[in-house]
A and B are shown apart, each in its own frame.
Chain A
């Protein structure tokens, strides 16, 4: 079969003539096909939100978790191959506990990001292993730098963001949140914005989806925690109303 990367895409240790490592690009495609995950760093905290497509009515609500605790002060939302994501979460958890055991304090956000990124990058170097098909949104709070949001891609590229999204609807989400004033928006407002954005961007209107949200803010005691159910429900109300309104405008 011929395709874009024919011949140069069989192994992660092969460059293409135009300097690409196709296996890494293909890993990114696995993420791009997953349902949307987003994060916003507000003036007083960080919010993560994931659009969880409900694959079957037989599934219990709240199953298929997409957001995980790494430590009390850090959380990760996963987009892409979910089993791969679980491994990344485990690794991040180990890094966090080992750091605390050795240095006596919680792992700083920049260090955790660096550890996850280096780990993922290693799988882009060696022939014997494939890259992880996962993008990780890290929400962290530490005393040195306050609330932080990082995105680590399958290649190991990592950046710190005010707001970003990964997965199917990432372009639309990023366009939507670009207009937000990140230094003025509060976490509670961001929770509503995330809900509105994910509802707006949810393409397959037939397919039901669950909204999974977490935050780190003063209200959560600066711990990574699920956004309280009432707030999520309220945000969803507002989001549905906004979506209907824009429908009616046509």
Chain B
């Protein structure tokens, strides 16, 4: 493949999909799951503007308070704005309460934003966290402003490919390792099939002792049926880079 062809290809892509008109989207797969002792959250890293991947290693996991995190999918701008507002209100509330707000409260704030501004916003969000009253919890807050407590939840374009996997593989009272493996596997499967999801995997595990962040680089993401191994050169360099020539 020559660079000229690539250049032409990119230009074609621009005019075909009107990249200039497309808004950055977190095409995305996001997954959150409760386990015996807390919650595990995970997301892929791809942000696409039409067919162009504008960020291949983005962070779709946003911290709202010490104990509650937000997983973002849909419009990148909208979800960042919602996250910022909710973080602001949560901090104020924490000051008034003298302690961290409950996960349910934060989920309610996110849902309120989605519901009251449903004409303008496109944010499909998951709220996951841990509080001392009810342990680890996951809330789905899709577009429109529904708030649904779940044992596990998924969202984003890639989630469509893994409902079957989630239904069959989830079990109650998993250990931390099982839950982390479950989330990572789910993300990898979605990233294999969804064009708008891919790149890297980020996970956060929340338990009573705090938060642990994990990063799975592009060449370490589990591979499935007919997926190509990363090229040897790329593996040595430690990055998933484009091969020329």
Contacts and interface: CB of A to CB of B under 8 A. Distances in A.
A111 B96 contact: yes
Contacts of B97: 108, 110-111, 144
Contact of A105 (B98, B99, B105, B112): B105
A143 B133 contact: yes
B49 interface: no
A102 B110 CA distance: 10
Interface string B40-68: 00000000000000000000000000000
A104 B105 contact: yes
A102 B98 contact: no
Interface in A64-118: 102-105, 108, 110-111, 114
A103 B97 CA distance: 12
Contacts of A144: 97, 99, 133
A103 B105 contact: yes
B203 interface: no
Contact of B108 (A104, A108, A110, A114): A104
A105 B102 CA distance: 9
Contacts of B99: 144
Contacts of B107: 104
Secondary structure call for the B interface: helix
B101 interface: yes
B109 interface: yes
Nearest to A111: B96
Interface string B86-101: 0000000100111101
A87 to B, nearest CB: 23
B108 A102 contact: yes
Interface string B10-46: 0000000000000000000000000000000000000
Contacts of A114: 96
Nearest to A115: B96
A110 B105 CA distance: 17
Nearest to A143: B133
A190 B66 CA distance: 41
Interface string A158-182: 0000000000000000000000000
A110 B104 contact: no
Contacts of B93: 103
Contacts of B105: 103-105
Nearest to B105: A103
B96 A103 contact: no
A144 B93 CA distance: 14
Contacts of A104: 104-105, 107-109, 111, 147
A104 B149 CA distance: 13
A111 B94 CA distance: 11
A102 B99 CA distance: 18
Contacts of B111: 104
List of 5 A-B pairs having minimum Cβ-Cβ separation, nearest first: A104-B108, A103-B105, A105-B105, A104-B105, A143-B133
Given A104-B107, A105-B105, 8 more contacts: A102-B109, A102-B112, A103-B93, A103-B105, A104-B147, A105-B104, A111-B96, A143-B133
13 contacts: A102-B112, A104-B104, A104-B107, A104-B147, A105-B102, A105-B104, A105-B105, A105-B108, A110-B98, A114-B96, A144-B97, A144-B99, A144-B133
